[in-house]
Amino acid sequence: MLCREVYQGGCDRPIEGPGWLHPEHWPVLPDDRPILPSLRHDVPDHLIRTLVRSPEPYVRRAVITAPQTADDVVDALLDDPREDVRTTALHTTRSADTLRSAAGDPRLRFAVACNPHCPPDVLERLSRDNDPDVRNRVVINPATPDHLIDAATRDRHLFVRWWALRQTRNARIIDRAARSSDPDEREWVASNPHCSPETLLVLAADPDWQVRRKVASNENCPGDLRARLIGEPIGAHRPARYPSPTPSQRAGALVERFVWPLILRLWPERDRD
């Protein structure tokens, strides 16, 4: 069996047990983290149940994130000896009982809050967690009920409030933030995918160039408006709060426009169900 017959982006060399992996094939990021292998979507169940016994943790994590992996295989890895594998399984499991139990452990709450199958009652409990990182993950979780996201727009932590403004579907909250005197609130709501074209038109006239940049990258932005905004030089008519666009801000604009959409397309399907 060839590596490319098992892994997306695999090579033409054969692989076999017990490892089922060529570790040197997967490139390493600047911080020494390898790019993780992902299983092909046509890998059959019997092979997945063989791969899960691999001593390579990257193989076991690839098994967890594959959309066709059976729930019992994922749940079995909740007891894996490796913490990173256990955490990946907790991110992915569909077991409501497991998630409710893990939500009581401060060390596991973040992983539970990331799980897109997390029950609403658990998300509601975690939305009141003392850790703002946990509350922020609740806001980002696609399973979170709208009323919890709306409540988070009043969170005591600034970053949680900003993400809630980006996620809320509440037209009244969106409109209020779009007319806020706080440029940060206008910037975050300008990237909200539930922002109406009418509200985006208001934000497109914002004196802050970063707000206008977010409008241009919003998927709901009308094509003619996007073309006009993209034609503006970066930093045009910028306000005093940003005296000059830094190289990192310029890079951020490129990442948001091109790299982040690519990441969303490549995100494991299991995590987006």
Domain residue ranges of the chain, discontinuous segments joined by +: 1-69, 94-167, 169-241
CB 15 within 8 A of CB 50: no
Cα-flanking dihedrals φ and ψ of residue 2, to 5°? -85, 150
pLDDT score recorded for residue 251 = 61
Secondary structure letter of residue 18 according to DSSP: T
- Report the distance separating Cα 17 and Cα 137, nearest Å: 37
- In the chain, the N- to C-terminal Cα span, in Å, equals 30
- Here the tokens at position 3 are 């590596």
* Tokens, residue 248: 């990192």
| Confidence check: pLDDT of 12 > 60 | yes
Neighbours of 145 (CB within 10 A): 12
Q: Are 152 and 139 in contact (CB under 8 A)?
A: yes
Sign of CA dihedral 80, 85, 87, 89: negative
Give the whole-angstrom CA distance, residue 17 versus residue 14: 11
Distances (CA, A) of 217 to 24, 190, 191, 193, 211: 37, 9, 7, 10, 10
Q: What are phi and psi of 225, to 5 degrees?
A: -70, -40
> Partners of 6 in the beta sheet?
none
Of 202, 183, 189, the C-alpha closest to 163 is: 189
pLDDT attached to residue 179: 94
Average pLDDT, the chain: 87
CB 203 within 8 A of CB 225: no
Contacts 24+ apart (CB under 8 A), 241-244: 241/183, 241/208, 242/208, 242/209, 242/210
Q: Which range (3-17, 21-35, 64-78, 105-119) has the least confidence?
A: 21-35
pLDDT digits (tens, 9 = 90+) for 151-205: 999 999 999 999 999 999 999 999 999 999 999 999 999 999 999 999 999 999 9
Contact 99, 126 (CB under 8 A): no
Residue 248 pLDDT level (bands cut at 50, 70, 90): low
Here the tokens at position 167 are 């996620």
Arithmetic mean of pLDDT, 130-144: 96
Q: What is the percent of the chain where pLDDT is above 90?
A: 71
pLDDT score for 24: 76
Indicate whether 108 pLDDT > 60.
yes
Nearest to 36 by CA among 14, 13, 61, 17: 61
Sole residue written with tokens 């390898």? 34
DSSP state of 257: I
Residues β-bridged to residue 7: 39
**Mean pLDDT value across residues 13-32:** 79
In a 13 Å sphere around the CA of 102, the CA atoms on its Cβ side amount to 27
